[in-house]
Chains A and B, each alone.
Chain A
């Protein structure tokens, strides 16, 4: 029996989809069987981040409406063994699916996969409610900005109200140089404000832009972001991994020509 994890943030554009794609890829590389569910009906994007956009036949709404079996809608990644995508419908809206239907779907997928990830849309409306419905735990993505952290706090409150107690934080797009200058909140600052456990710090890395352009998540490669994502994967699996030293980059990365 697998686990269902929702990746959410409240605010849009903080990197939920990129995070979902990379964590999914990382866990698959670690030998787990993983399915990523795009719950952003009407604004799907997980397919392009994974480079699977040309292979969509059926989608989440088709599964829920029983136009096809769940297995028929799953797209198998060719690049990463063990990674599957259940894409969102693009021409429907969030009301096409109910939280009860999502619970049912989550229960089904759990039987066949080690990890089921729900990529949550921005906002706190129906799409959010659908995404969290069947989840066992939540990963909250934020960037070190006032607006994103504020929205994350709201999401944490809503998850608590829905009796989801296992919530962990990912601080995304951290710029260590700016933190040093005193012009960006550190991951510790964000943790202090939100009072929630930290599961990962992902540095702002141009390699992520390149990876997304190519439709190939970078989890597990030797870039800083790639390592950060892989560390999150290990922590999801319950391993104790120390946080990356982001200060290293300037010195060691240059030294070894990374």
Chain B
């Protein structure tokens, strides 16, 4: 927070609008569980060509990330945490 922000009181309507925009991003972007499952399986399939994945530890979800240009703006992002068990040998990859 900047020092000048301390003196700039934000109206509650602006707060409401910002909160609303944030909550709608996640409301609107929430995929159905079936689609998330399909995305997950496709990611596993592609990555398995190159690395051995810990399928149990795989975590995929839609979250929001703050844009770099504006701190009060955010956009949906697909975040995946994919634990790798083993890098596959280079020889297997053409």
**In residues 1-54 of chain B, which contact A (Cβ within 8 Å)?**
11-14, 16-17, 19-21, 23-24, 27-28
- Across the interface, A193 reaches (CB within 8 A) one of B12, B14, B17, namely B17
**Are A186 and B13 in contact, CB atoms less than 8 angstroms apart?**
yes
Interface size class of A (residues with CB under 8 A): 10 to 19
**Are A182 and B19 in contact, CB atoms less than 8 angstroms apart?**
no
Q: Which residues of A contact B17 (CB under 8 A)?
A: 185, 189, 193
**Are A181 and B27 in contact, CB atoms less than 8 angstroms apart?**
no
A interface footprint on B51-91 (CB within 8 Å = 1, 0 otherwise): 00000000000000000000000000000000000000000
For residue B12, which residue of chain A has the nearest CB? A183
CB distance from A191 to the nearest CB of B (A): 12
Interface size class of B (residues with CB under 8 A): 10 to 19
- Across the interface, B11 reaches (CB within 8 A) one of A144, A145, A153, A183, namely A183
CB distance from A179 to the nearest CB of B (A): 7
Q: Which residues of B contact A193 (CB under 8 A)?
A: 17, 20-21, 24
**Are B14 and A182 in contact, CB atoms less than 8 angstroms apart?**
yes
Any B CB within 8 A of the CB of A122:
no
Q: With the chains together, A165 CA to B27 CA distance in Å?
A: 20
**Are B12 and A150 in contact, CB atoms less than 8 angstroms apart?**
no
**Are A146 and B19 in contact, CB atoms less than 8 angstroms apart?**
yes
Q: Which residues of A contact B16 (CB under 8 A)?
A: 145-146, 185
**Are A183 and B20 in contact, CB atoms less than 8 angstroms apart?**
no
A149-B20 CB under 8 A given contacts A154-B27, A157-B28: yes
Q: With the chains together, A145 CA to B20 CA distance in Å?
A: 9
B interface footprint on A132-170 (CB within 8 Å = 1, 0 otherwise): 000000000000111001100110010000000000000
CB distance from A159 to the nearest CB of B (A): 14
Q: With the chains together, A182 CA to B12 CA distance in Å?
A: 6
**Are B28 and A153 in contact, CB atoms less than 8 angstroms apart?**
yes
Q: Which residues of B contact A185 (CB under 8 A)?
A: 13, 16-17, 20
Q: Which residues of B contact A196 (CB under 8 A)?
A: none
List 6 extra interface pairs beyond A146-B19, A179-B13, A182-B11, CB under 8 A. Answer: A146-B20, A150-B20, A153-B28, A183-B12, A193-B17, A193-B20
- 5 inter-chain pairs at a CB distance below 8 angstroms, sorted by A residue, are A150-B24, A182-B13, A185-B16, A186-B13, A193-B21
Considering the complex of A and B, which 10 residue pairs feature the smallest CB-CB distances, nearest first? A182-B11, A183-B12, A185-B13, A146-B20, A146-B16, A189-B17, A182-B13, A184-B13, A153-B24, A185-B16
